[in-house]
Homo-oligomer: A and B are copies of this chain.
Amino acid sequence: MSAQPLRLGIAGLGTVGIGVVKIVQRHPALLAARAGRTIEIGAICARDRSRPRDADLSAYAWEDDPVALARRDDVDLVVEVMGGADGPAKAATEAALAAGKDVVTANKAMLAHHGNALAEAAEAAGRVIRFEAAVAGGIPVVKALTEGLAGNEIRRVMGVMNGTCNYILTRMESAGLPYDTVFEEARQLGYLEADPSLDVGGIDAGHKLALLAAIAFGTRVSFDDVRLQGIERISIDDIRRAGDMGFRIKLLGVAQMTGRGLEQRMSPCLVPADSPLGQLQGGTNMVVVEGDSVGQIVLRGAGAGEGPTASAVMADVIEIARGTRLSTFGQPAATLAAVQPAAVAAPAPYYLRMELLDKPGALAKVAAALGEAGISIDRMRQYGHETASAPVLIVTHRTTPDAIEHAIGAFAATGVVQGPPVALRIESV
Q: Identify the A interface with B (CB < 8 A).
A: 19, 23, 26-27, 30-31, 33-36, 132, 138-140, 143-144, 147-153, 218, 276, 279, 291-302, 305, 307-308, 310-315, 317-319, 322-326, 330-332, 335
Contact = CB atoms under 8 A, between A and B. Distances in A.
B152 A311 contact: yes
B294 A149 contact: no
Most B C-beta atoms less than 10 A away, residue of A27, A151, A297, A326: A151
Please give me the 7 A-B residue pairs with the lowest Cβ-Cβ distance, nearest first. Answer: A140-B148, A151-B314, A138-B294, A293-B307, A294-B311, A297-B301, A293-B311
Number of copies: 2
A141 B299 CA distance: 10
A236 to B, nearest CB: 23
A380 B178 CA distance: 42
Contact of A147 (B140, B153, B276, B325): B140
Contact of A317 (B19, B151, B305): B151
B331 A326 contact: no
A301 B31 CA distance: 29
Contacts of A295: 138, 301-302, 305, 307-308
A151 B31 contact: yes
Given A294-B307, A324-B324, 20 more contacts: A19-B293, A30-B153, A31-B151, A34-B331, A138-B297, A140-B143, A140-B147, A140-B149, A144-B144, A147-B147, A151-B313, A276-B276, A276-B300, A279-B279, A292-B307, A293-B310, A293-B311, A293-B314, A294-B308, A324-B325
Contacts of A302: 294-296
Given A298-B301, A330-B34, A147 B319 contact: yes
B315 A322 contact: no
Contacts of A307: 292-295
A152 B150 CA distance: 24
Given A279-B279, A323-B325, A148 B301 contact: no
B140 A144 contact: yes
Contacts of A150: 34-35, 314-315, 318-319
A397 to B, nearest CB: 27
Contacts of A292: 26, 307
Contacts of A132: 148
A323 B247 CA distance: 46
B291 A296 contact: no
Contacts of A26: 153, 292
29 contacts: A26-B292, A30-B218, A31-B151, A34-B150, A34-B218, A34-B330, A36-B331, A36-B332, A138-B295, A140-B297, A143-B144, A143-B148, A147-B319, A148-B315, A150-B314, A151-B311, A151-B318, A152-B314, A279-B279, A291-B311, A293-B310, A294-B311, A295-B307, A295-B308, A296-B302, A298-B298, A298-B301, A299-B299, A323-B325
B293 A23 contact: yes
A150 B322 CA distance: 11
Contacts of A325: 322-324
A132 to B, nearest CB: 7
A1 to B, nearest CB: 8
A301 B310 contact: no
A310 B138 contact: no
A293 B24 CA distance: 12
Contact of A138 (B19, B138, B293, B311): B293
Nearest to A296: B301
Contacts of A147: 140, 143, 147, 315, 318-319
Contacts of A299: 297-300
A220 to B, nearest CB: 13
Contacts of A23: 151, 293
